[in-house]
């Protein structure tokens, strides 16, 4: 039985719909006291400020690179457009 792609897609869709929508995130039979939580990393205000400034600086540099790339590509585009127009007029 060699079906086309649409039939196999329908079969896959039916199989996926038959499965439960969500997995249980945790077993409710285990008391909460037995669950081990991962320790959270703690940062000082100075470290948070340094990280914020570093991210801000990286984002600013990325923005400047994108603007420079856009300007260069626009200049090249208009030069090519002008060259094509100039060659057609001759």
Per-residue pLDDT of 9-56, as tens digits, reads 888 888 877 766 555 555 566 555 555 666 677 889 999 999 999 999
User: Binning pLDDT at 50, 70 and 90, where does residue 3 land?
Assistant: low
Q: Is the pTM of this model over 0.85?
A: no
Question: How far is 12 from 14, CA to CA, in rounded Å?
Answer: 5
Question: How far is 81 from 74, CA to CA, in rounded Å?
Answer: 10
**Alpha carbon of 32 to those of 28, 29, 38, 49: distances in Å?**
9, 9, 14, 35
Q: What is the DSSP string of 55-69?
A: HHHHHHHHHHHHHHH
Q: Which two tokens stand for residue 16?
A: 């996926």
């Amino acid at each position: 039985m060699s079906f086309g792609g649409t039939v196999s897609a329908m079969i896959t869709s039916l199989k996926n719909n038959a499965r439960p929508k969500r997995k249980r995130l945790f077993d409710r039979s285990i008391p909460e006291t037995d669950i081990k939580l991962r320790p959270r990393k703690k940062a000082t205000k100075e470290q948070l400020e340094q990280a914020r400034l570093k991210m801000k600086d990286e984002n600013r540099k990325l923005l400047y690179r994108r603007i420079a790339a856009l300007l260069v590509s626009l200049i090249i585009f208009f030069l090519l457009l002008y060259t094509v127009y100039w060659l057609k007029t001759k």
